[in-house]
Amino acid sequence: MLKWILMLALAAPLGAKTFVVSTAELQEYLLAMGRAQELPRGDARDALAEEVLQHHLLALLWNDLGHRLAEAELQELEQHHRDIAIRMARRAWTAPAKVSDKEVRDYFELSTLHFYCRHILSEKESEIRGIAGAISAGADFSEQAFEHSIDVGSAELGGMLGAVHAGETVAEFEDVLFAQEVGQVSEPFLTPFGWHLLVVDSIQPREEYRPTEAALAKAREDLERKQRRFHELDAQQRMRQHIGARFFFEADAPGDTVVASKDTAMTRGQLDERIMAAFSATISADMFNDGLRRAFAENWIDQLGWLSIAHEEGYWLGEETLERIGLRERLMKSALFTAVEVKPGLNPSERDCWNYIDNHPAEFLEFRHDVFRRLVFDEEAQAREARRRILREGWEAEQAGEGLELQGDPRDCGAPFEIDPVERASLDPELRSGLADTAEGTWSQPMPWQEGWALWYRIGRRLPDIEESDTLEQAVEAKVREAFLQAELKRIASLERERRKLKRVKVRG
């Protein structure tokens, strides 16, 4: 079924001398490229459509050459299809975020406050309720946090989070924070991190916060993000009710059910096997805990639930889903065509690399060498006196070592030398920071160096020749290859566009 869908989707954009691309395809393209999700307007949108057309033409060339997608690539597209259908279903069930100017102003007023608070975090509801009971019976909140909270950083401080501000925490935590009376322990509540208890110790004004245009814009952004989160949670809850989802996170035995719906179920043992299969290369024993089990089980049932709704409500084979998966297929085939048919023929010469670095030096600033002179002394006081004398005598930098009658390693007596990026990275962080702050043509303040102290004089910075640095040579060659590649792909797509007599690009929707 998917192969037929993909073939249909690939052919769809071509019309009578016009390439038609939908806004859904443009959005999917931005997502695939890792760019901002908001569609541009005007000329920028037209340019985006031209990029999609280039990928489409390269995909057609891949087909014309008789290539076929491998099983692994088809499976990847199947996964894209599921992801896209799930996205469509979730979006349809989630209300948009809409906030009024008054709501923004009220939220901004909360943003002007410091909320000094402590919390206790636990993986299990039963544990957090036991802790809450102990506190109600007289146990000290900070001691309970120190003994039981799994938030190690705050637990060591008795649960102290310091000053918390609007927009800094997840929506579920923030809602409890804003509603909590000072000095009162909250009821147990759940966030994506686990179960919490919270106490607000004090609320203080932030004197530096004023209702500027930028501050109000940030308040609106934070409030809309918070509202979207609650709308997503509401949609998730309705979806779980629809599929009859149930969770049993207190289950301990391998055969006990952990999560179930009307159509499926998973035991604790099956859940652990799935987690190990998914994370075997990265997970460690100390990471394998109830929090991870909860997150994995919830994600598993949510994926199944949204996929079920996608089938029920027509999003699985909906027009927008097919447009988006068609775009993914074209991008995959375009990438394969590029890797198989174009890249092997690109062989930039040494002259190409020289020309590129001469014309684009700003792209390689990280490879520059720092050029210094250095004067080394046994004691800090000697270094400070030497610096005063250099400035008092008005010596040029190259005269300082001779004027001070220093002897030993020329590099320690004022001879110029260079520090390459590798050596720079290996320096003590404080020294590296001090050198970075030393302006060109000036002497630094005395800084510790090996067993003594040193004055440093920055002569300047120099981009080395390609043959001096293997890493620079590799970076330049990679840039040249990419530039050649983009030029060649543009040339090939232009010829193919002309052959197919495509005159116009149109954005639909």
pLDDT tens-digit series, residues 56-87 = 999 999 999 999 999 999 999 999 999 999 99
pLDDT value of residue 38: 84
Do residues 249 and 128 touch, judged by C-beta distance below 8 A? no
Nearest Cα residue to 425 out of 435, 416, 415, 440: 435
Strands (DSSP E) along 102-207, which ranges?
A: 113-122, 160-164, 189-191, 194-205
pLDDT value of residue 9: 44
CB atoms inside a 10 Å sphere around CB 126: 13
Beta pairing, strands 18-22 & 113-122: unpaired
pLDDT value of residue 252: 81
> Which tokens is 189 given?
């509540």
Enumerate residues 6+ apart whose C-beta is below 8 A from 47: none
Mean pLDDT of 311-331: 95
Residue 15, pLDDT above cutoff 60: no
**Average model confidence (pLDDT) for the chain?**
91
- For residues 440 and 432, give the distance between their C-alpha atoms in angstroms, rounded to a whole number: 15
Mean pLDDT of 325-353: 93
Q: Rounded to the nearest 5°, which phi and psi values hold at 440?
A: -60, 135
pLDDT value of residue 77: 95
pLDDT value of residue 16: 52
Enumerate residues 6+ apart whose C-beta is below 8 A from 101: none
CB atoms inside a 10 Å sphere around CB 350: 12
* pLDDT tens-digit readout, 250-309: 878 889 999 999 999 999 999 988 888 887 766 665 667 778 888 899 999 999 999 999
Nearest Cα residue to 442 out of 453, 455, 426, 432: 455
- CATH of the structural domain 113-208, one choice from 3.10.50.40, 3.40.640.10, 3.40.190.170, 3.10.180.10: 3.10.50.40
Mean pLDDT of 38-58: 94
Element (H, E) at 221: helix 213-243
- In the chain, which residues fall in CATH 3.10.50.40? 113-208, 369-462
Mean pLDDT of 325-348: 94
pLDDT value of residue 14: 46
Mean pLDDT of 39-50: 93
Q: What angle do CA 49, 50, 54 make, to 5 degrees?
A: 115
Tell me which CATH code domain 369-462 carries: 3.10.50.40
pLDDT value of residue 4: 36
Residue 147, pLDDT above cutoff 60: yes
Q: Considering only residues 164 and 277, tell me which one the structure prediction assigns the higher pLDDT.
A: 164
pLDDT value of residue 385: 95
In this prediction, what percent of the chain has a pLDDT beyond 90? 82
pLDDT value of residue 277: 84
pLDDT value of residue 211: 81
Mean pLDDT of 207-235: 89
Residue 95, pLDDT above cutoff 50: yes
Residue 159, pLDDT above cutoff 50: yes
157 half-sphere exposure, CB direction, 13 A CA radius:
10
Helix (H, G, I), strand (E, B) or coil at 383: helix
Nearest Cα residue to 124 out of 231, 233, 249: 249
* pLDDT tens-digit readout, 392-410: 999 999 999 999 999 999 9
Inter-CA distances, 180 with 114, 176, 183, 203, 224, Å: 14, 6, 8, 11, 22
Residue 187, pLDDT above cutoff 60: yes
Inter-CA distances, 245 with 117, 274, 436, Å: 35, 19, 57
Residue 320, pLDDT above cutoff 50: yes
Residue 10, pLDDT above cutoff 50: no
